[in-house]
Amino acid sequence: MRFHYLFLAPWIVLGVPSRVFLGLGTLIVLVVVVAGLSGMLAGKQMLAALASGALLVLLVAGKIGIDLTRAPNPDTAVLLLQFVTVIFFMEASRVVLTFDKEAKELVGRTDGMSQAVKERLGKWVTGQLGRQARLVAGALGLSLVLLVLGGFTSVSINQLSFSAVLVLLVVGTLLFLITQRREPETRRSDSLRL
């Protein structure tokens, strides 16, 4: 989990024709890997997040570069897989670094209470990573299914009205998902009932 930049960065950067990144692909890979590994090994969450963010930007920039240089398009499924993989590892590294930080504070404590907290922390990290993996896999599957369904309808993205409706639909759906079902914060005093 700590060394995922070693395969993610080459997979994303070197999968794009080298002229898209002006022949600097290897250097970019090196920078991202060094930043990511330093962040993960030194426990610097900001550095790891920057490296993951850079991978996302490189993925999108690579795709834009392919469009502009009229290079052959990559496989859509692979593109989506790369995208969700980066998101998964970005979140997973955050979980792992949080685990490291909390575990570090408990190092050397052998009392029962600290041991119990350690045990809970171990179960938490395993559960978090498992649930994140399931959600990402589900999101990938759902996206592919939606793409296949979209393919059946054969609607052209060039139609202006369709594009506008698509944008409105996505924005509306996201707003609904973000604001509905959950109150942002519930405050009670002393005894809490959420």
Partner 1 sequence: MLILGLLLQDWQLASMILPLASLFFLANFWGLPEKVELVANHQIVPSDSFGDEDISVRITVSNKAGDQLGNVEVNERLPSEINVESGASRVLTQLGAREHIDLVLEFHSPIRGHYRIGPLVVRVQDPFGFYLVEAKSEAEVLSIMPRPERIRGAELRPRHLGPWPGLIPARTLGPGTEFYSMRDYVAGDDPKRINWKASAKHAHLIVNEMEAERVTDVMIVLDTDVSFYETSEAELFERGVRAAASMASVLLRQGNRVGMILQGEERGIVSPSFGKRHERTILFLLAAAKPGRAALSTSYVITLLAHLMLPAKAQIVIISPLLDATIVDGIRQLAASGYSILVLSPSPTAPNRFESDEEEIAYRMLMLERSNTRLALEQVCAVTEWPAGVSLSTVLSEVKLQRPMMRV
Contact positions vs partner 1 (CB under 8 A): 60, 63-64, 67, 73-74, 76, 79-80, 83-84, 87, 91, 98-99, 102, 105-106, 109, 111, 113-114, 116-117, 120-121, 123-125, 127-128, 131-132, 134-136, 138-140, 142-143, 146-147, 157-158, 163, 166-167, 170, 173-174, 177-178, 181-194
- Contact indicator for 43, 2 with CB cutoff of 8 Å: no
19: helix, strand or coil: helix
Nearer Cβ to partner 1, position 8 or 33?
A: 8
CA dist 15 and 59 (Å) reads: 10
Instruction: Looking at 25-159, list the stretches that DSSP marks H as alpha helix, in order from N- to C-terminal side.
Output: 25-42, 45-69, 76-106, 112-153
Cα dihedral 168, 170, 176, 182 sign: negative
Q: Measured from the CB atom, is 50 or 121 closer to partner 1?
A: 121
- Closer to partner 1 by Cβ: residue 46 or 182: 182
- Least distance in angstroms from the C-beta of 54 to partner 1: 16
